[in-house]
Structure 1
Amino acid sequence: MITYVFPGQGSQSKGMGGSLFDEFKELAEKADEILGYSIKQLCLEDTDSKLGETQYTQPALYVVNALGYLKKVQDTGKEPDYVAGHSLGEYNALFAAGAFDFTTGLKLVQKRGQLMSRAVGGGMGAVIGLNEEQISDALKKNNMLTIDIANYNSPTQIVISGLRKEIEDAQPVFEGMKDVQMFLLLKTSGAFHSRYMQEARREFEIFLQDFTFSELHIPVISNVYARPYKQFAVKQNLIEQITQPVKWTESIRYLMGFGEMEFVEIGSGNVLTGLIRRIKREAQPLLLTDIECKNDVKKDDLSIPPERASFLIETETVKIHNQKGNPETAKGNNRTFEGISSSSLGSAAFKKDYNIQYPYITGAMYRGIASKEMVIKMGKAKMMGFLGTGGLNVSQIEAAIQYIQKELSEGQAYGMNLLHNPIDPNKEEEIVDLYLLHGVKTLEAAAFISITPALVKYRAKGMRRNTQGEVIALNRIIAKVSRPEVAEAFFSPAPERIVAKLLAEKKITEEEADLLKVIPMADDICAEADSAGHTDGGVASALIPAMITLRDQMMRKYQYQKKVRVGAAGGIGTPEAAAAAFIMGADFIVTGSINQCTVEASTSNNVKDLLQQMNVQDTDYAPAGDMFELGAKIQVLKKGLFFPIRANKLYELYRRYNSLDEIDEKTKVQIQEKYFKKSFSDVYQDIKSFYPTEEIEKAERNPKHKMALIFRWYFGYSTRLALGGSEENKVDYQIHCGPALGAFNQWVKGTDLEDWKKRHVDVIAVKLMNETVELLNQRYKKFLENCN
């Protein structure tokens, strides 16, 4: 068997490529067009001495390696059995295997080189003579814990990576060790393949979202796992490769394990040929009894529930147990577990339906705090965000829809919020009509306690059967609920009485009325645990399983053709919280509080400054202004603010008294002077221009209702103070927020994201998903190791 290996950065040299540029003139011209300069001139002449600069080195090596491969296949008439590449060379291995064409690969490498070239202040050093264990011990004993191992080039040639000064400081430490033959400072600008490349990784992941990869027809050995690529994980491997070490030694030992294996280096130089000779001298093959064979293990072979199979990670020689608890092994007494990627989390159907890459949504936040800019940012990053329409008027909502649709004109996902309005149900229908007019296809239903005519109308419009007889609902609803009885209403078909009423009013057709009987009201349910929004203070670990169980019962009851998905919201601000949600079975996650403290959030800088400083204990419950009389609660920031105490005081007074006249004089003065900064009569004049005539008439007849309307004014007032950033009345800010943001602040402390001015919703989302995957892989690996 033959393996072609492709070198990476460090193997470049002036004159590389030789006659290849003329032999493959058409490809060389395509490269020039993409890069904006002559690749032939760069490689053969390097007149400007740019060949050693990362942004030029990587494209140059990719082109030379790729043309070298095409020449080799042309001369021999056959392809290799395996391919592998060292760091940048892995892109050539993927090109050889058919993952992408020449120009696509060059675009990927060009971007990778540009991002990695921006990493400054880092350094790398090669330690020759010590093995992995000795180097790890030296780093620990000398408190050099900020240095990472970047390349396992051979058993006794290992590259470390970190801040330049720390690498330089490490040089005398290693040179003073007995077995060290040499310590060589490498000529790099960045700390490649280390934690310090996180920013490049984040940006590269966003860039990769627009690419798809073809089926691999040659096995490619991954730098990250030292095992063959899994087709579904090509993109994730390329993302992880930027920050993860290159496991070259283990990769070669894996290939050696197949028996007689010839290694042929393709491209510039013979660096890898030398390393492979060294590995063969210093290490033994990984025998086939120690590694996986092709198709040795399939997910359906495992004696665990299939919904957990996607969390299994790749390890060596891991024993599992059968249902009786007895040790059981696969062929060759070993089983291998696949690593998961961020693209494998959640429901594949959910991602397909909404045309998104990750099962991740940013939820709506009142008065447009979840802004149009936030929605656009998420859509362009192949995720989905909802505009916070609560408290906005119709003209404001319409302007936002038009702006979002203009910016997301390529089919990217977006959605609009519909907040339940128990005071004026007609407002709900007015907003729904606006959504129907502008073709808004996804709605987030929030704070509903029952199904309303507006929701049914939205769900019904445009429904039809396809040629297979399946019901197609053009308008999707994602319902955020925190109580099982409300969830049951959304899991059920539309209420018959509402359907009949809409049909009688000719607001829906007879066909739409019939089709409403066979589909649920919502495509997706979001189980909202303790959060900033309207909440019942639910505990996620109790709420999510209960909602999933209820969903399964309702699916059996109504025999729906399509499964209703269950997502999770509330308290999600760290990888640990997101991982817990997915492990419990969530099909998707929704974040809220953490997005309020970002550049895109449409609230004041004063609010963001306060939020940036909060911790998990800095929130409290207060009445919800829009559902004041019902006693509904929201969660708000309390640190440094009087709003929670004052809002709860108003609700207690409302419960205790039947009118303002019954309240003692001292308390009334306090409220008017300290809370409202104006008299009750002035407040009442304000609300007359806001509420519909029937509400004011009701207030004139009912003193308790009048008191409720006046007290509710404070909630709008306190929100306006926060949104406007009033310095004078900062203590009265109403800032909806859950403890998730406090946990998030602790998680990102000491990183760029500690400063809200550097927090962007898409960057947060990608980081959270990536690190959730890393955490799951680490925890599951540890669990499986403990089973041995």
Structure 2
Amino acid sequence: MITYIFPGQGSQSIGMGGTLFDEYKELTDEADDILGYSIKELCMEDPHSNLGQTQFTQPALYIVNGLSYLRKIRETGKKPDYVAGHSLGEYNALFAAGAFSFGEGLKLVKKRGELMSHATRGGMAAVIGLNEEQITDALEQNNLQSIDIANYNSPTQIVISGLKTDIDCVKPIFEGIKDVQMFIVLKTSGAFHSRYMKEAKEEFASFLNSFIFSELTIPVISNVHSRPYKQSDIKQNLIDQITHPVKWTESIRYLMGLGKMEFFEIGIGNVLTGLVRRIKKETEPLVIKSIEIDNDHSVPTAAEIASGSNVVKLDEASQGRLTAEFDPSSLGSLEFKTDYNLKYAYVTGGMYRGIASQEMVVKMGKAQMMGFFGSGGLALSEVEASIQYIQKELSAGEAYGLNLLHNPSNPDMEEKTIDLFLAYGVKTVEATAFFSVTPALVKYRVKGLTRDQHGKIIARNMIIAKVSRPEVATAFLSPAPERIIDKLLAEQKITKVEADLAKEIAMADDICVEADSGGHTDGGVAYALMPAMIKLRNEMMEKYQYHRKIRVGAAGGIGTPEAAAAAFILGADFILTGSINQCTVEAATSAAVKDLLQQMNVQDTDYAPAGDMFELGSKVQVLKKGVFFPARANKLYELYRQYSSLDEIDEKTKLQIQEKYFKRSFEEVYKEVKSFYPAQEIEKAERNPKHKMALIFRWYFGYSSRLALNGSEESKVDYQIHCGPALGAFNQFVKGTDLANWKNRHVDEIAEKIMTEVAELLNQRYHNLRLANS
């Protein structure tokens, strides 16, 4: 696991920030507007010698730490597992966790710095060599109860705070103690983190009343409690922090006690890195063996209870009873939400031909969730334009991804798509309809693999693989095949370093188990698939000893809170929705299609051949109510299986297909086919009459998709609309509400509604179970 730590006041230096201000010009301009002066000039030149003054120091450090964090995320493409900050640095930790925007955090820090700068006649000093007990005894023995401990920086580096006159008096006392290595009076104007900041605390409390904090997406370790923040305590923690000591030692010990933990200092200098090193050397991890139930902060999270990731038991001294309180942000895997910078463990899938539109992806990203753009079936130029749009709109680290649909008949197109993703730095791909791992997918996965200073492999490109069969899941849970790695290396498409590192990581960061769904599906049952896939994941993790846990998500059939709750109870680390998003304002399909989908029920779907995998017999689930497409598509496949060429089909059937299905002759269709497929495919068709028949029949699937996307009124019966029964369930769920009309449906609001009601449902069910067993 990884924790990012952010330094506080005292780390500032002229020249800090460097190129960050130009790299993040929009945020720098926003900072200048909020502060009323040039932050770049202050940090780089400090012409008026203001950088050392609290009201200037704190905003400057917050900005440089924050921009450093954004650069780190941009470079690695990943979020840490935990964040913590020393005093002021805690605001950067909260920004990283999504509690507030960059600008909102700066407003808080600006006010905090101004109020703390008003506190005068105070002083602080660092005592190095004594522990807490020795310092407390020295203060008591010398009748210096007016001095507070402000910072527990390490077991033997502790900062005291009080009136400047008292700090001056205590200096010779501590210097006369044998074990004291150093007594350093700090350059501060006030007695920070002590009782003497009470007035600043009260004014800051009033200022905070106007602020609303967003859901935390990464656990933040509190200076006050040295435990993770509770969402409800953000405001009070920030108020209390002004007068309470910084429990840095205990915070680091707590993080060490969670397991193997790596710490990375983000921002200016390496003061905290040195403190962490001393804490590790001088003390042991703090292992919490029982749940601490008190009035502060340490009740277990719903995620811990729901996932079963921790054995929950009450401290024997406690007389309380554990109560599960689920909220939307606690559901699913915390690691998953952290890695992708998400508020909820909720993702929207990449529906074919851009139906999962760029607007849909941006909508989800701005709501702190993740959507995949439906790049399958689109020209590369269309995909490129959408990437440019998405990256422009989601420029502050919001999550997004692109779908990669397996293209067995045209592997060159698959590789060109991957090259496009790599060129634009697309960090997350949803791999769908794959039977096995392909060279293009392997290239995407291994490009940019590096090893950090601790020997851990850092993957720049992340893959979420949608699977419905154990053998396909096994391929993605395994390292890339050696034969493909060797081939890519021989072709100089990857480096030797990348090839070697590829042996130590799985092909996918996450797999998403796809049950009965729209689009490509095997019609599996989630209740059977999820336990089997989780067991398989565990076996593969054990076999390869991966450093990172591969998460297992659930897709297919999720259109109601009950279905989503079932997925989480089955052990899903995240859920992925598809069909329900096709009937929204953001979906890039016709209003005519949405009108049809709005009226469907759970029984109104059928299976039909997949046009892109027609010869293989792969199936997709489609809408059958109000259209003839499923029956006609299945008829074409039966004819393909039965006959070896078009000439063998009886004249009556051929006439029916040309007049009713295609509305043009086979010759006209084949002319279009020849203009679309590469030359080798046409040469094969000329030699093989059955293959020619397949290409002509496959034309119908593209034609029927275009009819639906364009909303052709005269050919509505031929609409091909990929859809699962989840949408029928959703329609029943919202019946009689504003959401009954698709024109009121927005993907982010649907996600919010489902996740909120899942939490309410689980709380109610848990409550009912307790009553039944009480």
What's the TM-score once normalised by structure 2's chain length? Answer: 0.64
SS at match of 2:420: helix
| Residue 538, structure 1, aligned to residue 501, structure 2 | no
d(CA) in 2 for partners of 1:573, 1:488: 28
- Once the two structures are TM-superposed, the CA of residue 754 in structure 1 deviates from its matched residue by 1.0
Structure-2 residue corresponding to 1:682: 668
Check the 8 A contact 1:310/1:340 in 2, yes or no.
no
Alpha-carbon spacing, 1:101–1:689, altered in 2? closer, same or farther (3 Å): farther
d(CA) in 2 for partners of 1:614, 1:711: 28
Alpha-carbon spacing, 1:107–1:333, altered in 2? closer, same or farther (3 Å): closer
Structure-1 residue corresponding to 2:337: 351
SS at match of 1:106: coil
- Of residues 741, 762, 768, the one that matches 1:776 is 762
Check the 8 A contact 2:218/2:338 in 1, yes or no.
no
d(CA) in 2 for partners of 1:631, 1:104: 61
Matched to 1:610, the amino acid is L
Check the 8 A contact 1:98/1:214 in 2, yes or no.
no
Check the 8 A contact 1:676/1:714 in 2, yes or no.
yes
- Once the two structures are TM-superposed, the CA of residue 359 in structure 1 deviates from its matched residue by 0.7
Structure-2 residue corresponding to 1:140: none
- Once the two structures are TM-superposed, the CA of residue 460 in structure 1 deviates from its matched residue by 1.0
- Of residues 202, 210, 213, the one that matches 1:106 is 210
| Residue 417, structure 1, aligned to residue 415, structure 2 | no
Residue pairs, 1:221-236, within 5 angstroms: 231-234=229-232
Check the 8 A contact 2:607/2:630 in 1, yes or no.
yes
SS at match of 1:411: coil
- Of residues 476, 481, 484, the one that matches 2:467 is 481
Residue pairs, 1:123-138, within 5 angstroms: none
Structure-2 residue corresponding to 1:36: none
Structure-2 residue corresponding to 1:307: 307
d(CA) in 2 for partners of 1:686, 1:397: 23
1:450-481 CA deviation, whole Å, 9 max, x = no partner?
00000010011111000000000100011011
Residue pairs, 1:639-788, within 5 angstroms: 639-788=625-774
SS at match of 2:607: strand
Residue pairs, 1:546-695, within 5 angstroms: 546-695=532-681
Structure-1 residue corresponding to 2:509: 523
Matched to 2:649, the amino acid is I
Matched to 2:671, the amino acid is Q
Check the 8 A contact 1:526/1:567 in 2, yes or no.
yes
Alpha-carbon spacing, 1:502–1:210, altered in 2? closer, same or farther (3 Å): closer
- Once the two structures are TM-superposed, the CA of residue 785 in structure 1 deviates from its matched residue by 1.4
Check the 8 A contact 2:221/2:228 in 1, yes or no.
no
Matched to 2:232, the amino acid is V
- Once the two structures are TM-superposed, the CA of residue 426 in structure 1 deviates from its matched residue by 0.6
Check the 8 A contact 2:363/2:748 in 1, yes or no.
yes
| Residue 403, structure 1, aligned to residue 415, structure 2 | no
Alpha-carbon spacing, 1:293–1:403, altered in 2? closer, same or farther (3 Å): closer
Alpha-carbon spacing, 1:486–1:608, altered in 2? closer, same or farther (3 Å): same
SS at match of 2:209: helix
Check the 8 A contact 1:604/1:724 in 2, yes or no.
yes
- Once the two structures are TM-superposed, the CA of residue 784 in structure 1 deviates from its matched residue by 1.4
- Once the two structures are TM-superposed, the CA of residue 495 in structure 1 deviates from its matched residue by 0.3
Structure-2 residue corresponding to 1:364: 350
Matched to 1:308, the amino acid is G
Alpha-carbon spacing, 1:335–1:659, altered in 2? closer, same or farther (3 Å): same
Check the 8 A contact 2:220/2:228 in 1, yes or no.
no
Alpha-carbon spacing, 1:298–1:764, altered in 2? closer, same or farther (3 Å): closer
Residue pairs, 1:429-468, within 5 angstroms: 429-468=415-454
SS at match of 2:520: coil
Alpha-carbon spacing, 1:581–1:608, altered in 2? closer, same or farther (3 Å): same
1:710-741 CA deviation, whole Å, 9 max, x = no partner?
00000000000000000000010000000000
| Residue 498, structure 1, aligned to residue 484, structure 2 | yes
Matched to 1:650, the amino acid is L
1:315-344 CA deviation, whole Å, 9 max, x = no partner?
xxxxx9xxxxxxx99656651323121111
SS at match of 1:617: coil
- Once the two structures are TM-superposed, the CA of residue 749 in structure 1 deviates from its matched residue by 1.1
1:56-81 CA deviation, whole Å, 9 max, x = no partner?
xxxxxxxxxxxxxx9xxx9xx9xxxx
Check the 8 A contact 2:466/2:511 in 1, yes or no.
yes
SS at match of 2:463: strand
Residue pairs, 1:29-178, within 5 angstroms: 102-108=206-212
Matched to 1:234, the amino acid is S
Alpha-carbon spacing, 1:471–1:672, altered in 2? closer, same or farther (3 Å): same
Q: Which moved more, 1:626-635 or 1:340-349?
A: 340-349
Structure 1, gaps ≥5 residues long:
1-25, 27-69, 78-94, 109-204, 219-228, 239-290, 313-319, 321-327
- Once the two structures are TM-superposed, the CA of residue 105 in structure 1 deviates from its matched residue by 3.2
Check the 8 A contact 1:236/1:343 in 2, yes or no.
no
- Of residues 324, 348, 368, the one that matches 1:338 is 324
d(CA) in 2 for partners of 1:371, 1:787: 48
- Once the two structures are TM-superposed, the CA of residue 706 in structure 1 deviates from its matched residue by 0.5
Check the 8 A contact 1:491/1:522 in 2, yes or no.
yes
SS at match of 1:629: helix
Check the 8 A contact 1:311/1:777 in 2, yes or no.
no
d(CA) in 2 for partners of 1:613, 1:96: 59
d(CA) in 2 for partners of 1:454, 1:419: 11
d(CA) in 2 for partners of 1:99, 1:777: 38
Check the 8 A contact 1:619/1:638 in 2, yes or no.
yes
| Residue 383, structure 1, aligned to residue 369, structure 2 | yes
Alpha-carbon spacing, 1:753–1:664, altered in 2? closer, same or farther (3 Å): same
- Of residues 359, 362, 380, the one that matches 1:373 is 359
d(CA) in 2 for partners of 1:433, 1:687: 26
1:259-280 CA deviation, whole Å, 9 max, x = no partner?
xxxxxxxxxxxxxxxxxxxxxx
SS at match of 1:395: helix
Over the matched positions of the two proteins, sequence identity in percent amounts to 66
1:559-587 CA deviation, whole Å, 9 max, x = no partner?
00111111000001110011111111111
d(CA) in 2 for partners of 1:787, 1:673: 67
Q: Which moved more, 1:453-462 or 1:99-108?
A: 99-108
d(CA) in 2 for partners of 1:329, 1:551: 33
SS at match of 1:635: strand
Check the 8 A contact 2:336/2:573 in 1, yes or no.
yes
1:394-420 CA deviation, whole Å, 9 max, x = no partner?
111001000110111111111011110
Check the 8 A contact 1:718/1:732 in 2, yes or no.
yes
d(CA) in 2 for partners of 1:293, 1:349: 26
d(CA) in 2 for partners of 1:610, 1:690: 30
- Once the two structures are TM-superposed, the CA of residue 298 in structure 1 deviates from its matched residue by 6.4
- Once the two structures are TM-superposed, the CA of residue 688 in structure 1 deviates from its matched residue by 0.3
1:103-130 CA deviation, whole Å, 9 max, x = no partner?
443143xxxxxxxxxxxxxxxxxxxxxx
SS at match of 1:462: coil
d(CA) in 2 for partners of 1:718, 1:398: 25
Check the 8 A contact 2:217/2:342 in 1, yes or no.
no
d(CA) in 1 for partners of 2:687, 2:419: 33
Matched to 1:363, the amino acid is G
